[in-house]
Amino acid sequence: MPKENLFVDRIKSIGYAFRGAWLLVRTESSIQIQVVIACIMTLVGFYFEISKTEWILQIFAIA
């Protein structure tokens, strides 16, 4: 069996990660709540026009 290209392997890995994240969001209620809160806080950030530094802090807090 020929070894696949490193780039193809990375793309597949990213696909698996997104599928796993989507499965997590669909099945875990606590994660669903966190996603909703993250979306609300992002919209609030746009509404209040927060600074770049505040965006960085918000991204860290959400992550």
pLDDT over 60 at 1, yes or no: no
How remote is the C-alpha of 58 from its chain's centroid? 13
User: Does 47 reside within a domain?
Assistant: yes
User: Does 1 reside within a domain?
Assistant: no
User: Does 29 reside within a domain?
Assistant: yes
Torsion angles phi and psi, residue 62, rounded to 5: -70, -40
Its domain, for residue 28, covers: 6-62
Read off the pLDDT of residues 9-46 as tens digits, 9 standing for 90 and up: 999 999 999 999 999 999 999 999 999 999 999 999 99
How confident is the model at residue 7, as a pLDDT? Answer: 87
User: Does 48 reside within a domain?
Assistant: yes
Which residue shows structure tokens 């392997």? 9
User: Does 54 reside within a domain?
Assistant: yes
Q: How many domains does the chain contain in total?
A: 1
C-alpha–C-alpha distance, residues 36 and 57, integer Å: 18
pTM of the model: 0.71
Q: Cα angle at 53 between 47 and 59, to 5 degrees?
A: 70
How remote is the C-alpha of 40 from its chain's centroid? 14
